């Protein structure tokens, strides 16, 4: 699948494979999608647009068959001096992705190294092609991951594995990533399958109530920052607050009808309004 842009960017392509799904494709094929400042600026713009769009319910970020992203742009960084980095606030906006409220799926094929692996881990769900190659090779460049790699890896795959990956710089496969819980699903090897599967999941998510989806995302992410007790208290508060939404009423009424239809087995015509929940995001 080679998506055409819905608007014009230089280093990414944006499209809507489904009306409710924004697909962002990193597009610097000659540099294996190395994440230059210009690319990151465009990515942030596209994410911002998708997050505020009324039609979009979920976002997919992908790269090419060969590379999701081979890291931050080493060529851009190699001669950087402190004064320029400091005065331009170099790569300060990398974490913008983590403030997006709508769910983001990383559809990873090929290399996801360094900043590329960190970018995938900033997303909410990672779906990988069997060819995906993950890694934090920064140690080989005399440095360490700088955009959350040490922290997110340790939280997801545990201390010993994270240490091994960060300190040896060795890459790891899609199969390992799935076994360790970093990747939620591996697709078939067929070209484009990882994007197709990701868009399918994004579409499914986008059909649920937008407020509940955002709340679910916020709460799962909160689990990484709060104690269990604080997290459970926050979950209960947000759970309570969702009773004030129209979507909850819609969902509950359909659930009740389904339940009653089940109990009274086809006999209760009054509850036979067979329709799917129609969430409005309110
Ligand atoms: N940057 C710039 N160019 C890259 C690149 C990169 N990360 N990776 C590949 N390229 C370019 C290559 O230079 C080459 O360009 P030309 O020479 O043709 O002009 C082209 O892509 C194709 O690459 P190769 O010829 O090397 O292709 P191979 O198939 O032989 O090898 C490879 C593929 C992925 C194994 C290899 O390219 C490679 O090792 N690349 C570097 C991977 C790496 O070390 N990545 C980590 C970079 S450090 C932070 C945010 C983020 C970061 C830090 C801080 N803050 C917010 C504070 C992140 C740091 C990093 O990611």
**How far, CA to CA in Å, does 236 sit from each of 133, 224, 231, 248, 255?**
39, 17, 9, 15, 21
What confidence tier does 280 reach under pLDDT thresholds 50, 70, 90?
confident
Alpha helices in the chain (DSSP H): 37-52, 74-77, 82-87, 115-122, 149-157, 159-168, 174-179, 193-206, 210-222, 228-241, 246-263
Q: How far is the CA of 191 from the centre of ligand 1 (A)?
A: 23
Q: What is the pLDDT of residue 261?
A: 58
Domain assignment present for residue 261? The answer is: yes
Regarding whether 64 and 149 lie in a shared domain, the answer is: yes
The residues near 103 (Cβ < 8 Å, ≥ 6 apart) are 58, 59, 124, 125, 202, 205, 213, 217
Distance CA 24, CA 198 (A): 12
Give the E-state strand segments of 2-62 in sequence order.
12-18, 21-26, 58-62
Active-site residue list: 72, 115, 118, 138
Going by CA atoms, what residue is nearest to atom 16 of ligand 1?
A: 31
Same domain, 180 and 151: yes
Residues 266 and 146 in one domain: no
Q: What is the model's pLDDT at position 93? A: 87
Q: Is the pLDDT of residue 245 over 90?
A: no
Q: 234 pLDDT exceeds 50? A: yes
Considering the domain architecture, whether residues 14 and 131 belong to the same structural domain is answered as yes
Binned at pLDDT 50, 70 and 90, residue 274 comes out as low
Is 80 touching ligand 1 by the criterion CB < 6 Å? no
pLDDT tens sequence across 247-269: 777 776 666 566 555 555 444 44
Q: State residue 270's pLDDT score.
A: 46
Based on the fold, state whether residues 129 and 217 are members of the same structural domain.
no
Of ligand 1's listed atoms, the one at least distance from the Cα of 116 is 61
The total of structural domains in the chain comes to 2
Distance, CA 70 to ligand 1 centroid (Å)?
A: 5
Cβ–Cβ < 8 Å for 23, 17: yes
Query: What CATH number is attached to the domain comprising 225?
Result: 1.10.12.10
59 CA → ligand 1 middle, Å: 25
Rounded distance, CA 201 to CA 127, Å?
10
CA angle 173, 11, 138 (to 5 degrees): 40
Residue 9: pLDDT band by 50, 70, 90 thresholds?
A: very high
Q: Which residue range is the domain that position 132 belongs to?
A: 5-206
How much is the average pLDDT of 111-117? 98
What pLDDT does 20 receive? 98
pLDDT score recorded for residue 65: 97
Confidence at 281, pLDDT banded by 50, 70, 90: confident
State the pTM of this model: 0.90
Residue 267's pLDDT is: 44
Q: What's the confidence (pLDDT) of residue 121?
A: 98
Weakest mean pLDDT among 67-81, 128-142, 228-242, 268-282: 268-282
Q: Please say if the pLDDT value at position 10 is more than 90.
A: yes
Please check whether residues 58 and 196 belong to one and the same domain: yes
Closest residue by CA, ligand 1 atom 58: 115
Closest residue to atom 15 of ligand 1, CA basis: 31
- What is the rounded CA–CA span in Å between residue 158 and residue 143? 21
pLDDT at position 266 is: 45
């Amino acid at each position: 699948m080679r998506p055409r842009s819905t608007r014009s960017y230089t280093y990414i392509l944006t499209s809507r494979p489904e009306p409710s799904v924004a697909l962002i494709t990193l597009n610097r094929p000659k540099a294996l999608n190395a994440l230059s400042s210009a690319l990151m600026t465009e990515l942030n713009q596209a994410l911002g647009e998708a997050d505020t769009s009324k039609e979009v319910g979920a976002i997919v970020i992908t790269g090419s068959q060969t590379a999701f992203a081979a890291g931050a742009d080493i060529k851009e960084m190699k001669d950087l001096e402190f004064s320029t980095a400091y005065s331009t606030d170099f790569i300060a906006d990398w974490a913008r992705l983590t403030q997006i409220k709508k769910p983001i799926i990383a559809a990873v094929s090929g290399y996801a190294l360094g900043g590329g692996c960190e970018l995938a881990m900033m997303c909410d769900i990672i779906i990988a092609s069997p060819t995906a190659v993950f890694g934090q090779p920064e140690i080989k460049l005399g440095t360490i991951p700088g955009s959350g790699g040490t922290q997110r890896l340790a939280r997801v795959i545990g201390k010993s594995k994270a240490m091994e990956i960060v300190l040896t710089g060795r890459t790891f496969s899609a199969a390992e990533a799935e076994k360790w819980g970093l990747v939620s699903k591996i697709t078939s090897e067929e070209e484009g399958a990882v994007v197709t599967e990701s868009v399918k999941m994004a579409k499914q998510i986008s059909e649920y109530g937008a407020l509940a989806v955002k709340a679910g995302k916020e709460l799962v992410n909160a689990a990484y920052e709060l104690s269990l007790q604080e997290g459970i208290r926050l979950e209960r508060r947000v759970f309570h607050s969702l009773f004030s939404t129209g979507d909850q009423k819609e969902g509950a009424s359909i659930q009740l009808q389904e339940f009653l239809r089940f109990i009274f087995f086809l006999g209760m015509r009054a509850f036979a309004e067979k329709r799917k929940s129609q969430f409005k995001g309110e």
